[in-house]
Amino acid sequence: MIQLQSESASYHGVKTLHDIDLLVSKGEKLALVGQSGSGKSTLIKLIYEHYPVNTALVPQDYGLVNNLSVYHNVYIGRLEQHTTFYNLVNLIRPKSEQVEIVRAILVGLQLEDYLFRPVGRLSGGQKQRVAVARSLFQQGHLLLADEPVSSVDEQQSRVVLKQMLNGFSTIVLALHDIQLALAFCDRIIGLENGRIVLDSPADELTEKDLLSLY
């Protein structure tokens, strides 16, 4: 599914990833853990650059359009699957068949009340869930999510992660919350200073093992 061999990456001229070898098979749920600046986001980007097709993305900064409704922001996930004309009509008059699909996704993320509200008027946590909703709507073989639950509370984090696990077979998550990583993923990659320092099945690890990374 994903195969990276001695890859490195630079960010603003500074090398942030070194000699990354990574093999992810279909169906794996993978968590990237490590301090901020350890290279998690860069690795997510790197994977996206290599495998952009059929991949859903939840970037750290969401990239939502504040002036569009929640519905439209979610719908953007499938722009490429429809004709431009269909998209335009939908922009002006939301297509009811699409609205129903989006609504179902929003229900799962406890966002159904905000279907037609402009994203600009949502809280940070709500925006984050909209970004997740887009990826769920988009579907695909692979989900790449960079800190997808950093702004929502514990209880909601679990709801959101569950939805993501249901929606995608293969997942790579950047997560700073060790508990959640251990609870939801089956494989943990630890990053430190741009290098992979840990790669192990989740059930062989305890929180204490991971704390050393922080």
Partner 1 sequence: MISVYKHSPAWNVSWLFVFLAGFSLFFADIEVISLEPWEELKRLFMGLLAPDWSNLSEIGEAFLQTLAFAILGVAGGSVIGFLLAQIFHWRWIQVSCAFIRAIHELFWALIFLQIFGLHPLTGLLAIGLPYAATFAKVYAEILEEGDRSALQAVSLDASRISTFFYARLPDLWEHFKTYTSYRLECGLRSSAILGFVGLPTLGYTLSSAFMEGHYSVVWALLLLFYLLIATIRYWVRPALLPVYIIAAPFIVANDSTISFDNVQRFFTEDIIPAPIMRGESLSESWQWLSDLLIHQALPGIANTVVLTQIALVASGILTLVFFPLISTHFFKPAGRTIGHVLLVILRTTPEYILAYILLQLWGPSMLPAIVALALHNGAIIGHLIGRYSLEIKLRADASRGLNRYFYELLPRLYGQFLAFLFYRWEIIMRESAILGILGIATLGFYIDSSIQELHFDKAMILIFITALLNVLVDALSRYLRAKLRLKTNVDCRATNDYCTARE
- Kindly report each contact of residues 107-115 with a partner whose C-beta sits within 8 Å and lies 24 or more positions away, as own/partner: 108/136, 108/159, 108/163, 109/133, 109/136, 109/159, 109/160, 109/163, 110/156, 110/159, 111/70, 114/70, 115/69, 115/70, 115/71
C-alpha distances (whole Å) from 67 to each of 73, 116, 166, 181 are: 9, 11, 30, 33
107 binds partner 1 (CB under 8 A): no
In order, the DSSP letters of 22-46 are EEE-TT-EEEEE--TTSSHHHHHHH
Query: Which residue, 166, 165, 148, is CA-closest to 157?
Result: 148
Stretch binding partner 1 (CB under 8 A), from 14-22, 26-34, 110-118, 196-204: 110-118
Site map for partner 1, 24-63, x if CB under 8 A? ---------------------x--xx--x--x-x-x-x-x
94 binds partner 1 (CB under 8 A): yes
Min CB(127)–partner 1 separation in Å: 14
- CB-nearer residue toward partner 1: 79 or 183: 79
Count the site residues for partner 1 by CB under 8 A: 31
111 binds partner 1 (CB under 8 A): no
Min CB(118)–partner 1 separation in Å: 7
| Site of interaction with partner 1 (CB under 8 A) | 45, 48-49, 52, 55, 57, 59, 61, 63, 65-69, 71-72, 76, 79-80, 84, 87-88, 91, 93-94, 112-113, 115-118
